[in-house]
Structure 1
Amino acid sequence: MLNSKETLNKAVSQITDELQTHWATNGKRRLGPADVDAFHASLTHIIIDALQAHNSSREQSMASIHKTSGHYSQGRYWSAPYGYKIHIGRSYNGLCELGYIQECKKGVYTDYARLLTRYRATDKLIKMFDAETIDDLHIIFRPRTNAETIRLNILQPDGYKLLVDYQDTHETISMREDMEMINNCLSRSWADLELDDDQLRELKLRMLPDGPDQTSSNNGDGILRLQDRTLYRVFNDTDFSSNGRLYGGWWQSIPKEYRPYILINGKQTIELDYSGLHPNLIYALSGQKLDGDPYEIPQSHRDWSRKKYFRKAIKRAFNAMLNADHELMREPSGVGIKDLNMSWKEVKAAIIERHKPISHQFFTAIGSKLQLIDSKIAIAVLKHFAAMNVAVLPVHDSFIMHSGYENELKDVMREALRKEAGISVPVMLTEKKQMTSHKSDLSEEDELLELLSPQPFTRRLDAFYALR
């Protein structure tokens, strides 16, 4: 691991010297001593992102970068030691000029679209590192550029959300202190995936922006960043009364079926979540009691063989109707009712009929208030275990942690829900399914070598411990 850090530092120093010579030769001012540290940090950021995005089988594997100067304004949401002139004017443009990275898609910033500039590592950059070093660099060393853990993301008149500044209060300071406690605990643990190299490569392909899942992490580029294991809260109004959910963890960006393979400090985990939390909350807020499965409607019995798929679509539709601030005349993206033999109008009517006691709450954006409640529950659960120095990975209203804590996690989840909302709902355990292995394709000799070689997640854990 230390060799990997030395390799990175050597590469950054080499590229710095090349760029200084390049600028001097082309009549551009060399960087002075006062700018060198910031420049090294900037180069490190871009290089690690480029290497992390690299996938030899896919040219579409690209990193992303902001090229608008406003993004780099010093303030609440920008905490890196470098600004626009260093990061874009010197580091990014310089790496492009020397052929270490290649710009693939220009960014778009108009009234109709917000797309970041996309770039990739060239062979010239990749050849400076071996595969193991690349794995170390992009997992352990990627710097964070936004340390603010309480974020205010407000919908603008043009339909896009924008991070805006705010005046701190006792409430925001207290929330930030809670996040510091939780993140300190998470930082002391290493979360990974119990996957072999082939399975991990398949996951990364699925996560690409043009892949079947189109999931994304903080930067919206669909890249798996195992080093992103600390969290922040996002609110959607100036009085901090809506949303507040926790984001930022890499485990939130992967397809759901991969979550059972998460390891914490090399130990297997379980995932527990609340059954029908938001429907139960909205009924409780309306002074009503929910009976039965909230996502089962009479039409779901049309085809029992597809009942599970039907239920998922109804759940997504139900949540969309709670989150919307006006009636949805068209099916929202991602609901997936096209195979249910029902129109969107029929789905809406069926859900409203099933939930007559709370039908007045649909299309009122009440969902953001429910998210605030489940975020407070999540904070309570995470703080309980952080006080014990035990890491918990939240996915909104579900929690992933070492399997030995299953009973205590259930009790803590039930108590947090009772204190915050005064209700009780079942706590469900996610079942682990067998992941497809590629080892059957190996010869007996290769399979023996595979067994004797350390698994990638074991090697990464050892590298993490070596840094502590």
Structure 2
Amino acid sequence: MKQSRYGPSFISARSFQDALQILIGTGLVIRTTGAWYEPHGPSNRTARYQASEALLHGLLRNGASVAALRRHRAAEGIRLKDQNKKLVEYGNIQFADDARDRLQDINSMLTDHWVDLAVSDDQLSRLKSAINGDDKEGAAKSSDFAARTVHRVFNNSDWEQGGRFYGAWWMGIPSELRRYILIDGKRTVEVDYSGLHAAMLYAMERMDIPEDPYALSSSTGLRRSQRKLIKRTFNALLNFSGNGHLQPIEGFSEEATGMSWIEFRASIISSFPNLSKHFGSGIGLKLQYKDSLLAEAVMLKFAKMNYACLPVHDSFIVHQALQDDLTEIMQSEFEKMFGKRGYVSFDIGLGEVVASSTTKPIEWSPAELETAPGYEQRLRSFRRNGQSTK
């Protein structure tokens, strides 16, 4: 049987399963989430496992650090899925080969730098618990700092649908935590393509792009405070295709909007008469393909400069001193692709360091290192393992 391109080449499925069962049997690995499979059911779930406290303590006693971990370079980074979101095997496709080469350049850029959160482990737990209502243990383990590379996912067995980047840990954390991101121990800034898909459609229709592409006229009865809901509904309408009507999206309520879902949806459609032909067309995934090419171009520019640039779908995070460079590159790449420049606004949030329990400067002696915040220790380990920045 031919081996799947999505499976690791250095170990068979049987060997992996045998090794996993041994680790579970010795208490070094525990299963946190069960699995189920329904051949014709609406959803399936893969079992999830994590290292036990005994394994983690053993690794720490022997000087191991998450900073020394890297994903295998040969792991397949270009993933094609069908309409049911199942991975599709494919042969030697030139587009995929070229995209894989560019992806390796991007991932090399990402792994050449250490990305962390400027909070202690306890602070991280409290912050995530406050944001998500998660339990302390789950919150503390939800950031996998070893997940520092990205892969691309194309949808519906079509190389021109989807293609966005996924997989890096900073993509999955709550947006409120991204302000604490550090790159190589330095503060960061996030620059956002505000209203990206709407801006793309305006440009494709050869229309001027409003300063806020999601802005609605006051006659709709919708308020600016509802912008997030408006944006989500707008994009849901772009992704929707088929018979019937789009059902209420998560977060909608008649109490909050003062109107029914049908009225709310109709108000949004009527507010964009020049774009309404795209609603219900399913164009959303094709726009994702275009924004993935845009993200790829931006990151490759930073890779050539040997600077880190972290993707978060339609925004990017860089060292704060590179804010102007990032803004210029984002604008120029948008203009190159869509023929417009200076019509996309940017949401900028400066990274900050959470105050520690002491104001005493950290001296890099062995004694001080033991009490240094976890993010400082991980950075030191990253540099000590020969993975320092260029």
1:187 equivalent among 93, 106, 111: 111
1:349 equivalent among 263, 266, 284: 266
1:232 equivalent among 151, 155, 159: 151
Deviation at 1:341, TM superposition (A): 2.8
Deviation at 1:436, TM superposition (A): 6.9
1:242 counterpart = 2:167: no
| Aligned partners of 1:323 and 1:365 also within 8 Å | yes
Deviation at 1:324, TM superposition (A): 1.4
1:317 counterpart = 2:233: yes
Match for residue 147 of structure 1? 75
Match for residue 188 of structure 2? 269
Structure 1 portions without partners, runs of 5+: 1-69, 217-221, 440-445
Deviation at 1:270, TM superposition (A): 0.8
| Aligned partners of 1:325 and 1:364 also within 8 Å | yes
CA distance in 1 between counterparts of 2:158 and 2:247 reads 31
Match for residue 8 of structure 2? 79
Q: Percent identity of the aligned residues? A: 32
1:256 counterpart = 2:175: yes
Deviation at 1:465, TM superposition (A): 0.8
1:166 counterpart = 2:90: yes
| Aligned partners of 1:103 and 1:117 also within 8 Å | yes
- Secondary structure of the corresponding residue to residue 269 of structure 1: strand
| Aligned partners of 2:185 and 2:379 also within 8 Å | yes
Deviation at 1:427, TM superposition (A): 3.9
- Secondary structure of the corresponding residue to residue 428 of structure 1: coil
Deviation at 1:449, TM superposition (A): 9.6
**How big is each residue's C-alpha offset from its partner over 1:416-438, in whole Å with a ceiling of 9 and x where there is no partner?**
00111112323414234878757
State the one-letter code of the partner of 2:212: D
Match for residue 116 of structure 1? 46
Aligned pairs for 1:95-114 within 5 A: 95-103=23-31, 105-110=33-38, 111-112=40-41, 113-114=43-44
| Aligned partners of 1:380 and 1:416 also within 8 Å | yes
1:94 counterpart = 2:12: no
- Secondary structure of the corresponding residue to residue 79 of structure 2: strand
| Aligned partners of 1:199 and 1:437 also within 8 Å | no
| Aligned partners of 2:106 and 2:303 also within 8 Å | yes
Match for residue 32 of structure 1? none
State the one-letter code of the partner of 1:381: V
CA distance in 2 between counterparts of 1:83 and 1:188 reads 30
Match for residue 202 of structure 2? 283
- Secondary structure of the corresponding residue to residue 180 of structure 1: helix
Q: Which has the higher helix share?
A: 1
State the one-letter code of the partner of 1:421: F
Superposition CA RMSD, Å: 3.4
| Aligned partners of 1:272 and 1:427 also within 8 Å | no
Deviation at 1:456, TM superposition (A): 1.8
- Secondary structure of the corresponding residue to residue 283 of structure 1: helix
State the one-letter code of the partner of 1:97: G
Deviation at 1:223, TM superposition (A): 2.8
Structure 2 portions without partners, runs of 5+: none
Match for residue 359 of structure 1? 276
**How big is each residue's C-alpha offset from its partner over 1:371-416, in whole Å with a ceiling of 9 and x where there is no partner?**
1111111111111111111110011121111111111211111110
User: Higher RCO, 1 or 2 (CA under 8 Å, sep at least 6)?
Assistant: 2
Deviation at 1:361, TM superposition (A): 0.6
Count of matched residue positions in the alignment of Structure 1 and Structure 2: 374
Q: TM-score of the superposition, structure 1-length normalised?
A: 0.71
Q: TM-score of the superposition, structure 2-length normalised?
A: 0.84
Shift in CA distance, 201/409, structure 1 to aligned 2, threshold 3 Å: same
**How big is each residue's C-alpha offset from its partner over 1:202-245, in whole Å with a ceiling of 9 and x where there is no partner?**
3565798x839xx99xxxxx831112111221111444111111
| Aligned partners of 2:235 and 2:284 also within 8 Å | yes
CA distance in 1 between counterparts of 2:283 and 2:26 reads 52
Farther-moved stretch of structure 1 (340-349 vs 91-100): 91-100
CA distance in 2 between counterparts of 1:274 and 1:462 reads 34
State the one-letter code of the partner of 1:277: L
**How big is each residue's C-alpha offset from its partner over 1:172-216, in whole Å with a ceiling of 9 and x where there is no partner?**
2221111111111111111111112222223565798x839xx99
